[in-house]
Structure 1
Amino acid sequence: MTDALFARVRAALSGLISVAVGLAAGQLVAALRDPATSPVLAVGSAVIDRTPTPLKDWAISHFGTHDKLILLSTVVVGVFILAIVSGLIARRNVIIGAVIQVAMLAVAGYAVLDRPFARWVDLVPTVVAGIVSLLVLFVLLWLDHQPDLRRLVDRKPLQGNAIGASRRYFVVASGAGAATAVVSFVGAKQLTNSRSSVNVHIPQASERAPSLPRGLDASVPGVTPLRTPNTKFYRVDTELTVPTLDASRWSLQIDGDVENPYEISYAELLRRPLVERNITITCVSNEVGGSYAGGATWRGVLTRDLLKEARVKNPDRPDLQVMSTSFNGFTISTPLGALTDGRGAMLAVAMNGEPLPRSHGFPARLVTPGLYGMLGCTKWVTRLTVTTYADKKAYWTERGWTTDGEIKPTARIDVPKSFASVKSGRVMVGGTAWAQRRGVVRVQVSIDDGHWQDATMGPDVNIDYWRQWYFAWNTSKKGTHSVRARVVYGHDQLQTEKRAGVFPNGSSGIEERSFVVH
C-alpha cells in the first residue's frame, strides 16, 4: 500500500470512528432517559413515517419482525458512508469535514424535535453526539498528521505524518475509539434492557376468563399452541425501540365529543373492576398463511365502561370514531361501536396472567375483538378522543388503509412446512383457523386438488378465539403433493378463495402448501 493510499485510509477511519464514537455516546445518554431520543433511532423513526405504504408492506412481507433491524442497519450504513466522506475531506480541509458531520447531526436533531410531544431537552443526546464526534475527529487528525491544525484550516495538503505523531499512535487511538464505541453501544443496550422489566401488581379480575383446555399441540407436533406465550407473541408497530414508560406518571385522558371529559391514572385504573377475555388478535399485515396472529388471555377495563362515564354526545351517530393516541403521538382510529358494544373490547393491563409486557404496550393497550390491530389495538395508549372521521384522520387512515377492518376468516396450515419431506404412511396435516366475531365451525382440507374433507377440530374456546385442527392422511404415494385448507365459519359460510393482498383491508385467499412424501 502506497503512502498516499494509506493516508486516505487513515483519513476515512478518522471520519468513521469519530462518528461511531459520537453516536455511541449519544445512544448511551439517550438510554439514561428516553432511548427514542437517540439520533439514530430518531432518524429511523422519521424514515418509517415517510416510507410509502407499499414499501412498508414489502419490508414486512420479506423481513417479517426483522424489518426494523433492516431499516436501522440501512440508516447506520448511510451514516457511516457520510462519515467516511467527512474524514476524507477533513484530510485536506478540517472545516468542511466538520461541517459535514454537523449537518448530519442537524438532520438527526430535526428528526428528534419532529416527534410529537418533543421537547428541547430531547436534543441532549444529539448535542453530546456532535461534540464527541468532532473532538474525536480533531484528535485523530492531529495524531495522524501534525499538531498544527492551522494548515488544515488553510486547505494545505497534509504530507504523511513526518512532522506529526507516529502511525502507531494513530492506530492505538483509533483502536481505542472503536473499542469505546462498541462498549458504549453495548452499555446503552444493557441499560435499556434493564429497564424493560415490569414490576407492578395487577389485581385479579372480578370476571375471570374460562381456563383454556388442552390443545391439539400436545398431540400434533408443529401445530401452534392454543395460547401464545408472551415472548412468542407477534409484534408489529412503528417503534424502533421498546418504550419504557413509567406507570406512576402514566395517565389516560378521555375527551372529544363527550360531556364529561376526564383523566385517570394507572393506580386509579387498577382499582376499577377488571375483566378477563380469551381473544385472538391479528395484524392487517398478515399475509395468507402468515404468523402475525396470536391468542392470549387479556385482563383489563372494558372500554364501554370508560366511555360510558365520559358520556359520549350523540352516541348513535354512524360517523363517530375513537381516536386513540399513543405516548408519542401515534394514532389509531376505531369505530365507536366496536368499543361500546358487547364484544368485550378493553383497555388491557395484563397478558396471560402477567403484567402487560413493555413490548406489547405497558402500561396499557387497547384490545378490540374482531378488528385488525391497526384499528383496535393501540399500544402505550394515553388518550381516547371521541370525534368524527371527517374531523380527524389517524396514522394509517392518512396512508390509505381502511377505517372498518374486520378480520377476515382464514385457515392456516402449520404442518407440514412448505417443501418439507415426510414419511409415507400417516401424514399429519394441521394448523389453526380464526373467524373472530363469527366463530370457527370447522376446517376442510383438500389434498392434491381433490374433494374437500372435514378435519378433526380442537377445542372451541369462543367466537373470538382461534381453533386448532388436524387431518390425518394415509398415503403410500411418494413424490410431491399439495394441501389446501379453508375455514367454515358462522352459519356455514365458506372462507373466500379470492386472493387479495394486505392493503388496504387485509389479505384473503386459500393457503396452499407443497410437501414431499418419501
Structure 2
Amino acid sequence: MTAAALRASFRAAATGVLAVGAGLAAGQLVAAVRDPATAPILAVGSTVIDHTPTALKDWAIRQFGTHDKLVLLSSIAVAVLALAVTSGLIATRSLTAGIAAQATMLAVAGYAVLTRPFATVTDLAPTAAAGAVSILVLLALHRIDRPPSDRRSPQQEARAGVGRRDFVLASGVSATMTAAGFVGADRLAARRSAIDVRLPEAADPAPPLPRGIDRLVPGVTPLRTPNGTFYRVDTELTVPAVDASDWSLRIDGDVENPYSLSYSELLGRPLVERNITITCVSNEIGGGYAGGATWRGVLTRDLLAAARVKDPGRPDLQVLSTSTDGFTISTPLEALTDDRDAILAVGMNGAPLPRSHGFPARLVTPGLYGMLGCTKWVTRLTVTTYAARKAYWTQRGWTTTGEIKPTARIDVPRSFASVQRGRVLIGGTAWAQRRGVVRVQVSVDNGPWEDASMGPDVNIDYWRQWYFVWADAAAGQHSVRARVVYGHDQLQTSKRAGVFPNGSSGVEERFFVVR
C-alpha cells in the first residue's frame, strides 16, 4: 500500500470515529437532560449485564472488584471504536453502505433502550439524536475528503491540498464539539445529582457509636464506614438521578390495603435509626464488600402492617421489591416484619442517602445479604409468593434465603506485606449478623488458636474490630489465620465455599514477611 493510500485510509477511519464520537456525545447530552440511563452505550451495557451468565459476572467481580462496570464500558467503547473505524472505511467505497453500518449500530442501541424495563418510545430520543448527528458528521467529512482522481492537474493538486486542510480543520471542530458534548452531559448529570433534602430527626435515634480501635491499630477498617468509601455492588452502569418530588413507593400484592407514599409522606412518618452492617453475597473470604453505617428510615414492618398482608402466616410469602429501572429483589416476608428492625432507609450516617447508595430510599435488612434485602432506588414493595414471581438473582440460580455467614477478616498486615521484626500488630473486623460476635481467635504459623483483643460491641447486627499482638516475631515468612466465635460460642466454619449460590465461607489465611 502506498503512502497516499495509507493516508487516505487513515482519514477514512478518522471520519468514522469522529462521526460516531460526535453522535455519542449528542446522545449523552440528550440523555443527561432526560434520563442518563437511556444513553446508547449505557443502554447497551445494561443489556449486556442482564444477559451475562452468572459465572462470568462472579468472575468479573472477583477480578475487577468495583471497577467491573468501568471494564465493561471500556470493552464496549473499544468495540464501538472498531465498528466506527469500519464504517469510515466502508464509506470510502460506498457512502450508503457506511451510513448503513452506523445505522446498524444505532439500531442495536435502540433495541437495547426499548428492551429495558419501563421503557417508552420517548426513551429513544438520545439514540435518535446520536444517529442524526453521526450521519450528518459522516456526510460532511466525507464530502470534504473526497478522494481526488489518480491523474491530476496542478489545479487539482492545489484543490486537494486545500481539501486536506479543510478536512483537518473540520475534524478539529468535530472533535472539539464532541468533547464539549461529553463535558456538558457530565455537568448536567452532576447538577441533576445534587441532593437538596433536609431529613427530619429520628424519633428513635441509634446510640452513638463508641470509639473504635482503628486509631490504635493503623490499617484496621474504621468502625463506621464513611459514605464515600462504602462498597457499591449493583447492576446500574450509571447512578439513577431520581427526583424526590416525583418519587413514590407503592405497596401492593397480597394485601388488603394497597397504598402509595410520596417522599414527603415517607419523611412525615416516625423515623428510626439503626447501626447495621451489610454484606454483599459476592464478598470472597477476606473481601471488602461489607460496611457498617447508621441508617435512618421507617421500619418496614410498620409499612407492611398498614397494608395488612393477607394470611401473613404462609411460609412461602416474599416481598418483591422493585427498583426504578425494574430490577427486583426477593426478601422473605418474615425478615421485613419480625423484630430485626429492617428499615426503608432515607438516610445514611446522618445525611440523606447518597444517590450511589439508593436515594431517595432503599431497603436495609439486617442478617440478609444485599441481594436479598437491600434494594436501592426502591419504588415498589409487592407481597407475593416465590412460586408466583422470581426476582432478578433468583432467576439466575441464587439462594432465596441468604443469611450472612459469620466471618473474621484480616485487615493488617496486608497480604505479602513486609513488617519489622519484634512486635507485630494483627487486626481486622468480624461480623455475625443476627447472632453477634463474641470474640475472634488468631493462629500464627498454624499454631494454637489464641483470643484476640476485641473492639467495642455495638449490637448483634454490627461488626466488631479486633487486634492481636504478636510480641516476638522472628524474621522470615509467616502466616496468620483468624476465625470468629459468635452467638452461643459457635465457631465459624472452616469449610471453603465460593460465593455462588449463597455466599462464601472458610477461614481467611494471610502470608507476610518479617524482616
Q: Counterparts of 1:71-82 in structure 2 under 5 Å? A: 71-82=72-83
SS at the partner of 2:347? strand
C-alpha distance after superposition, 1:73-116 (max 9, x if no partner): 10111011011000001001000110010010011011111111
How much does 1:194 deviate? 2.3
SS at the partner of 1:198? coil
Select the residue among 239, 253, 258 that pairs with 1:261: 258
Select the residue among 173, 190, 194 that pairs with 2:191: 194
Asked if 1:250 is matched to 2:247, the reply is yes
SS at the partner of 2:96? helix
Give the partner amino acid of 2:100: V
Partner of 1:404: 401
Give the partner amino acid of 1:117: F
SS at the partner of 1:247? coil
User: CA distance change for structure 1 residues 131 and 429 in 2, over 3 Å: closer, same or farther?
Assistant: same
Partner of 1:205: 202
Output the aligned Cα RMSD: 1.5
Partner of 1:500: 497
Partner of 1:514: 511
Select the residue among 426, 446, 452 that pairs with 1:449: 446
Quote the Cα distance in structure 1 between the aligned partners of 2:169 and 2:479: 61
Give the partner amino acid of 1:220: V
C-alpha distance after superposition, 1:441-490 (max 9, x if no partner): 00000000001000000000000000000000012410110000000000
Quote the Cα distance in structure 2 between the aligned partners of 1:68 and 1:172: 35
Select the residue among 458, 477, 482 that pairs with 1:480: 477
Partner of 1:216: 213
Quote the Cα distance in structure 1 between the aligned partners of 2:247 and 2:47: 25
How much does 1:180 deviate? 1.8
Partner of 1:436: 433
C-alpha distance after superposition, 1:52-89 (max 9, x if no partner): 00100011111010000000010111011011000001
Partner of 1:92: 93
Partner of 1:152: none
Select the residue among 349, 364, 367 that pairs with 2:361: 364
Aligned partners of 1:45 and 1:240 also within 8 Å? yes
Q: Counterparts of 1:29-108 in structure 2 under 5 Å? A: 29-108=30-109
Quote the Cα distance in structure 1 between the aligned partners of 2:151 and 2:259: 67
Aligned partners of 1:145 and 1:158 also within 8 Å? no
SS at the partner of 2:403? coil
Asked if 1:326 is matched to 2:323, the reply is yes
Q: Counterparts of 1:128-143 in structure 2 under 5 Å? A: 128-143=129-144
Deviates most, 433-442 or 2-11: 2-11
Give the partner amino acid of 2:16: G
How much does 1:198 deviate? 1.1
Query: Identity of aligned pairs, percent?
Result: 72
How much does 1:346 deviate? 0.5
Deviates most, 178-187 or 263-272: 178-187
Structure 1 residue ranges without an equivalent (≥5): 148-155
Quote the Cα distance in structure 2 between the aligned partners of 1:446 and 1:159: 84
How much does 1:2 deviate? 0.9
Partner of 1:19: 20
Deviates most, 156-165 or 131-140: 156-165
C-alpha distance after superposition, 1:258-313 (max 9, x if no partner): 01111111111011010000000000010000000000000000000000010001
Give the partner amino acid of 2:15: S
Select the residue among 416, 425, 433 that pairs with 1:419: 416
Quote the Cα distance in structure 2 between the aligned partners of 1:461 and 1:186: 45
Partner of 2:9: 8
SS at the partner of 2:93? coil
SS at the partner of 2:118? coil
SS at the partner of 2:224? coil
How much does 1:5 deviate? 1.2
How much does 1:506 deviate? 0.4
Alignment size in residue pairs: 510
C-alpha distance after superposition, 1:142-188 (max 9, x if no partner): 111169xxxxxxxx999998565521111121122122212211221
User: CA distance change for structure 1 residues 158 and 471 in 2, over 3 Å: closer, same or farther?
Assistant: farther
Aligned partners of 2:437 and 2:463 also within 8 Å? yes
How much does 1:195 deviate? 2.1
TM norm structure 1 = 0.97
User: CA distance change for structure 1 residues 144 and 414 in 2, over 3 Å: closer, same or farther?
Assistant: same
Partner of 1:151: none
Deviates most, 447-456 or 471-480: 471-480
Aligned partners of 2:424 and 2:473 also within 8 Å? no
User: CA distance change for structure 1 residues 159 and 197 in 2, over 3 Å: closer, same or farther?
Assistant: farther
Partner of 1:150: none
C-alpha distance after superposition, 1:312-334 (max 9, x if no partner): 01100000000000011100000
Give the partner amino acid of 1:120: V
How much does 1:33 deviate? 1.6
Quote the Cα distance in structure 2 between the aligned partners of 1:325 and 1:159: 67
Give the partner amino acid of 1:368: T
Give the partner amino acid of 2:290: A
Aligned partners of 1:320 and 1:386 also within 8 Å? yes
Asked if 1:470 is matched to 2:467, the reply is yes
User: CA distance change for structure 1 residues 498 and 145 in 2, over 3 Å: closer, same or farther?
Assistant: same
